[in-house]
Structure 1
Amino acid sequence: MTIDVIVPEAMRKAYDAFHYAPAVREAGLIFCSGVIGQGDSAEDEFRDAWRKIGLILAEAGADYADIVDTTICMVDLASNAAVMAKVKDTFVQAPYPASTWIGVSGFVRPGARAEIKVIARVTP
């Protein structure tokens, strides 16, 4: 079986260094790996993560409107949830996808506040 790997050029170095795909396409769906943004504030970090998701989706021929499911993991969920909701709503519009939010103790990148994983459909 051949996996249809989605790797935007801006993410090629990470793909080669860490051996994981930003996304794979299978059976009409795009499965994105978790994405961590960068920024001085929670808002900047979350906005960067959603921007990166947009790059991945575009490489696969999709966009934010094609997202059918989101999983958002955050440290300090009580403090960060409102900021994430505000930022998410600038990228993801109605009809909204299924969504799961999870509070966690940390991420592989120290200091990261959130990791976002999405599944999107490929529209014919």
Structure 2
Amino acid sequence: MATKTIIVPEGMEFIRDEIGYAPAVLVNDTLYIAGQIGRNDQRELVADKEAQFVQVFENMQRILETAGARFEDVVEITSYHTDMRDLPLYMEVRNRYMKGCYPAWTAIGAASLCGAPGYFLEVKAVAVIERGNE
């Protein structure tokens, strides 16, 4: 039988409580991370493009750590971009967090994200967590 655990890092409770979804769901050893955007702990959009991309990966890192995972455990990423010309910057930022990691990756162009202007990137991911012999 599958074990399902909702993953909510400290400071992200509003996502579950106000918006109505989980930042991530762990099913057995597979972690499904919902689309992460460049919003900081004050729930404000990070305006600078590179800083926004960094914030996306910082948010993902918090979720991974809360679930007991690392970027090395990520097996698939889907990134949504309002401007596909941002791919080199995206890859540069991604590689700061995932150097030497080679998950499956799909990049998708989107007219807008989050129904609001100023969002340049959203990233969702799947990770498989090696638990060892428990």
Deviation for aligned residue 1:2: 6.5
Alignment RMSD, CA only? 1.4
Alignment of 1:107 with 2:113, yes or no, is yes
The answer for the alignment partner of 2:70 in structure 1 is 63
Deviation for aligned residue 1:3: 3.2
The answer for the alignment partner of 1:4 in structure 2 is 5
Structure 1 residues 20 and 82: alpha-carbon distance in aligned structure 2, compared to 1, 3 A threshold: same
Alignment identity in percent?
30
AA of the residue aligned to 2:71: Y
**Which aligned runs of 4 or more in structure 1 are off by greater than 6 angstroms?**
none
Q: How far apart are the structure 1 equivalents of 2:130 and 2:11?
A: 24
Q: May I ask how many residue pairs the two structures share in their alignment?
A: 123
AA of the residue aligned to 1:115: E
Per-residue deviation, residues 91-110 of structure 1 (Å, max 9, x unmatched): 01223111000111001151
Alignment of 1:92 with 2:98, yes or no, is yes
TM-score by length of 1: 0.93
The answer for the alignment partner of 1:82 in structure 2 is 88
AA of the residue aligned to 2:113: F
Q: How far apart are the structure 1 equivalents of 2:115 and 2:37?
A: 8
> Unaligned regions of 5+ residues in structure 2, if any?
39-44
Match of 2:51 among 36, 40, 44: 44
AA of the residue aligned to 2:70: D
> Unaligned regions of 5+ residues in structure 1, if any?
none
TM-score by length of 2: 0.87
Structure 1 residues 96 and 55: alpha-carbon distance in aligned structure 2, compared to 1, 3 A threshold: same
Q: How far apart are the structure 2 equivalents of 1:87 and 1:2?
A: 33
AA of the residue aligned to 1:30: L
Per-residue deviation, residues 41-100 of structure 1 (Å, max 9, x unmatched): 21100000000000000000001111100000000112x111101000000122311100
Of Structure 1 and Structure 2, the greater helix share is in 1
On the 8 A contact 2:3/2:28 being kept in 1, the answer is no
AA of the residue aligned to 1:27: N
AA of the residue aligned to 1:106: S
Q: How far apart are the structure 1 equivalents of 2:72 and 2:49?
A: 24
